[in-house]
C-alpha cells in the first residue's frame, strides 16, 4: 500500500517548470532509494542467518511481490522522465536519462514472459551446479572444497583433485548443452521482438554500454592477445622451470611454484579489523573513518559462523546513504585482501552519497576500479600484515594474477561474441571446438593433450548462463586499476587524490570521463595503454 501511495504522490507532482522538474526527480530518487534499501536490508538479514525462516520469507516477498510491482510503477515514471524537455534535465541526470532512454527503446511487453522464463532457466543452472558432489579421499566434496588441493605441492594429489572437479561437470555437460540451447533460442527471440539484429546488440543496450561497441571490445581482446599473452607465457615458462616440469597441465597453474604455505595474517576478527583500518589510514585518513563509521552502525559482518551464507559482498543502504560489508573470515591472507576489496566498494558508495540515487548508480565497469585499485594502493603498507618474505611472494602473486586473468576474460568475451552471431552457435560440437581454438590462442601455455573433452566444456561457465556478456567489465576495470597502481609508483599522493575525486562523481559523467578523472585511460578507446601497464607490471614480477 505505502509503495503504491508513494508512486501515486509522484504521479500527482506538477512538472510544468524547470524547478518543479528538479524537485520531482529528487523525489523519485528518494522513493527508489527507500525501496532499494528495503531490498538490501532484507538480503543482508537473510544472508546473515540462512536458518532464520522469517528473514527468508521477508526477502522472498520483496523479490517476488515488491520488486515486480515497483518495476511496473517505475515504467510510467521512466516515460514521464523521457517526456521532459531536454533543457530542463539537471546536468547530474544526463547519463541517467541516456540509460533510461535505452531501457525504454528495448522494452517490449511481449518480452516480459520471456524474461520470466529466462529467470527460471537461470535457476536451472543453479540447480544443476548446486548438486555437484563427488567422493574424494573417502569424503563427499563439492567443487569449491577441491580448490585448496589444486594448490598442494603434491602433483599426483593436484591431478586427482582437478580430474574429480571436472568430472562432476562432465557428467552434466549434455544437460548444460541443452539448457544453453534453450537460452540461446530465447535470447534470439528477445532480440527479434525488440527489432534488433542479434542478441549481442540487444544485450549491449540492456547492459547500458553507452560508451563502447562490439568493435571496441574486439580491439581490447586483440590488445590482450598482443601484449598480455606473451607476458603470461613468459611467466608460465618460469613456473615450469621452477617446478622442473616439461609441460604445464591444467593442475599445475595455481600451486605456489616454490611450495610455500599461505601465511597467517591475523589472530581474531578484532585484529583483522584493526589491521585493515591501519592500512586504510595509511592510504588516506578518510578511508579509515569510513571503515569505522560502518563498524559503528553494525554494518561490518565479517565472521564465519554456521548458518551464514558463503562469500563476501558490499551493498548500499540507499535511503540511509550508508554502505555495509559482509564476509566470511576464516584466518587466511585472502580475508585481508577481500576486506580491502570490499572496502573499496563501500568507500565508493560513501564518496558519492551526496548525489540523488539516479545520479550515483555508478556503472559496473567503474565499480570494480574502486575495489581493485584500493587493493593495489594498499601494497606499500603491507608490512602491517605480512613479514618481508611473504610480502614479496604474495606481492608477485597478486601481480601475476592480474595478468593471468585478462586472457581468460578475452576468451569468454570472444566466445559469446561468436555464439550469438553464428548459426553454428547452436551446435554442441562447434561450441566445444571453438572454445578449444580460443584456448590455443589465449592460453597456449597450458597443455590439454588427452584432456580435450574436458577442455571443450570450459565455456559452460556461470556467467555465460546467468549474466550473458557480463565479464568484459572486470577486464575494463582491471586495466583501469592497473593504471592507478602504475601511476602511484610515480606519484602516490597524486594517484590517491585522483582516485578519490573519481569516486565522488557517481554517474554524473560518462564512463571515459570517470576513468579520466581517476587519471587513467579508458582501455576500450585506448587499447594501446595495455602495452605500458603490462610492461611496468612485468618489470615488478621480474620477467
pLDDT the model gives residue 525: 96
Q: Is residue 49 located within the same domain as residue 134? A: no
Are β-strands 300-303 and 134-136 bridged in parallel, bridged antiparallel, or unpaired? unpaired
Q: Is residue 371 located within the same domain as residue 462? A: no
Q: Is residue 236 located within the same domain as residue 360? A: no
Q: pLDDT tens for residues 183-213?
A: 999 999 999 999 999 999 999 999 999 999 9
333 confidence band (pLDDT: 50, 70, 90): confident
In a domain, 362, yes or no: yes
pLDDT the model gives residue 264: 84
453, 448, 450, 418: which is closest to 434 by C-alpha?
Answer: 418
Q: Is residue 37 located within the same domain as residue 180? A: no
The per-residue DSSP string of 199-244 comes to: HHHHHHHHTT-TT--HHHHHHHHHHIIIIIHHHHHHHHHHHHHHHT
Q: Is residue 119 located within the same domain as residue 235? A: yes
Q: Is residue 395 located within the same domain as residue 434? A: no
Percent of the chain with pLDDT over 70: 100
61, 81, 65, 107: which is closest to 13 by C-alpha?
Answer: 81
In a domain, 344, yes or no: yes
Q: Is residue 304 located within the same domain as residue 394? A: yes
Residue 368 pLDDT greater than 80, yes or no: yes
In a domain, 103, yes or no: no
In a domain, 484, yes or no: no
In a domain, 10, yes or no: yes
Distance CA 456, CA 176 (A): 13
Number of domains in the chain: 3
- Percent composition of the chain: helix, strand, coil (DSSP 3-state, to 5): 70, 5, 25
| Virtual torsion, Cα 29, 33, 39, 42, nearest 10 deg | -170
Q: Is residue 376 located within the same domain as residue 341? A: yes
| Edge-to-edge order in the sheet of strand 322-329 | 300-303, 322-329, 313-317
Rounded to a whole number of angstroms, the distance between the first and last alpha carbons of the chain is 63
In a domain, 537, yes or no: no
Which residues on adjacent β-strands are paired with residue 5? none
Q: Look up the CATH number of the domain holding residue 219.
A: 1.10.1370.30
Note whether 251 and 161 are within 8 A (CB).
yes
How much is the pTM? 0.92
Q: Is residue 180 located within the same domain as residue 234? A: yes
Q: Would you call 450 helix, strand, or coil by DSSP? A: coil
197, 212, 209: which is closest to 99 by C-alpha?
Answer: 209
543 confidence band (pLDDT: 50, 70, 90): low
Residue 441 pLDDT greater than 90, yes or no: yes
In a domain, 206, yes or no: yes
In a domain, 523, yes or no: no
Q: Give the structural domain span for 8.
A: 2-89
Distance CA 369, CA 419 (A): 29
Least confident of 259-263, 425-429, 441-445: 259-263
Distance CA 395, CA 259 (A): 16
Q: Is residue 277 located within the same domain as residue 317? A: yes
Note whether 500 and 187 are within 8 A (CB).
no
Q: Is residue 196 located within the same domain as residue 296? A: no
Q: Is residue 162 located within the same domain as residue 246? A: yes
Buried/exposed 123-133: b ≥16 CB within 10 Å, e otherwise:
ebbeebbeebe
pLDDT the model gives residue 116: 85
Q: Would you call 301 helix, strand, or coil by DSSP? A: strand
Amino acid at each position: 500500500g505505502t509503495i503504491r501511495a508513494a508512486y501515486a504522490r509522484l504521479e500527482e507532482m506538477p512538472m510544468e517548470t524547470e524547478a518543479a522538474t528538479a524537485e520531482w526527480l529528487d523525489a523519485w530518487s528518494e522513493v527508489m532509494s527507500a525501496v532499494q534499501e528495503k531490498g538490501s536490508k532484507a538480503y543482508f538479514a537473510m544472508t546473515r542467518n540462512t536458518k532464520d525462516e522469517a528473514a527468508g520469507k521477508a526477502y522472498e516477498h520483496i523479490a517476488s511481490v515488491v520488486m515486480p510491482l515497483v518495476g511496473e510503477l517505475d515504467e510510467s515514471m521512466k516515460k514521464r522522465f523521457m517526456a521532459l524537455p531536454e533543457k530542463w534535465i539537471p546536468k547530474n541526470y544526463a547519463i541517467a536519462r541516456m540509460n533510461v532512454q535505452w531501457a525504454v527503446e528495448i522494452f517490449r511487453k511481449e518480452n516480459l514472459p520471456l524474461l520470466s522464463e529466462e529467470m527460471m532457466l537461470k535457476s536451472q543452472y543453479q540447480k544443476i551446479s548446486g548438486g555437484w558432489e563427488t567422493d574424494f579421499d573417502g569424503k563427499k566434496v563439492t567443487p569449491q572444497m577441491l580448490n585448496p588441493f589444486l594448490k598442494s605441492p603434491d602433483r599426483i594429489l593436484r591431478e586427482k583433485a582437478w580430474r574429480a572437479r571436472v568430472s562432476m561437470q562432465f557428467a552434466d555437460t549434455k544437460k548444460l548443452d541443452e539448457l544453453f540451447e534453450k537460452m540461446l533460442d530465447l535470447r534470439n527471440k528477445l532480440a527479434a521482438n525488440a527489432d534488433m539484429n542479434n542478441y549481442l546488440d540487444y544485450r549491449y543496450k540492456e547492459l547500458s554500454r553507452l560508451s563502447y561497441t562490439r568493435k571496441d571490445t574486439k580491439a581490447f581482446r586483440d590488445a590482450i592477445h598482443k601484449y598480455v599473452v606473451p607476458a603470461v607465457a613468459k611467466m608460465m615458462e618460469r613456473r615450469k622451470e621452477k617446478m622442473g616440469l616439461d609441460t604445464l597441465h591444467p593442475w599445475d597453474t595455481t600451486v605456489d611454484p616454490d611450495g610455500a604455505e599461505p601465511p597467517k595474517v591475523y589472530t581474531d576478527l578484532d585484529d583483522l579489523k584493526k589491521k585493515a583500518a591501519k592500512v586504510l589510514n595509511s592510504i588516506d585518513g578518510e578511508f579509515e573513518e569510513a571503515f569505522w563509521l560502518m563498524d559503528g552502525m553494525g554494518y561490518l559482518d565479517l565472521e564465519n559462523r554456521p548458518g551464514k551464507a558463503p562469500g563476501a559482498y558490499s551493498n548500499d543502504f540507499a535511503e540511509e546513504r550508508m554502505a555495509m560489508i559482509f564476509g566470511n573470515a576464516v584466518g587466511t591472507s585472502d580475508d585481508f585482501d577481500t576486506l580491502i576489496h570490499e572496502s573499496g566498494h563501500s568507500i565508493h558508495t560513501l564518496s558519492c552519497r551526496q548525489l540523488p540515487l539516479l545520479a550515483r548508480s555508478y556503472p559496473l565497469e567503474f565499480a570494480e576500479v574502486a575495489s581493485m585499485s584500493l587493493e593495489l594502493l594498499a601494497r606499500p603498507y603491507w608490512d602491517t600484515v605480512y613479514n618481508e618474505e611473504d610480502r614479496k611472494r604474495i606481492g608477485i602473486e597478486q601481480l601475476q594474477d592480474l595478468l593471468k586473468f585478462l586472457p581468460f576474460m578475452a576468451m569468454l568475451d570472444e566466445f559469446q561474441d561468436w555464439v550469438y552471431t553464428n548459426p553454428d552457435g547452436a551446435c554442441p560440437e562447434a561450441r566445444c571446438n571453438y572454445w578449444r581454438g580460443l584456448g590455443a590462442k589465449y592460453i597456449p601455455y597450458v597443455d590439454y593433450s588427452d584432456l580435450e573433452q574436458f577442455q571443450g566444456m570450459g565455456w559452460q561457465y556461470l556467467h555465460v548462463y546467468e549474466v550473458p556478456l557480463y565479464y568484459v567489465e572486470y577486464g575494463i576495470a582491471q586495466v583501469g586499476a592497473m593504471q592507478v597502481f602504475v601511476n602511484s609508483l610515480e606519484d602516490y599522493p597524486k594517484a590517491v587524490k585522483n582516485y578519490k575525486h573519481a569516486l565522488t562523481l557517481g554517474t554524473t559523467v560518462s564512463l571515459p570521463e570517470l576513468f579520466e578523472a581517476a587519471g587513467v585511460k579508458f582501455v576500450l578507446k585506448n587499447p594501446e595503454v595495455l602495452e605500458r601497464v603490462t610492461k611496468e607490471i612485468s618489470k615488478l614480477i621480474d620477467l
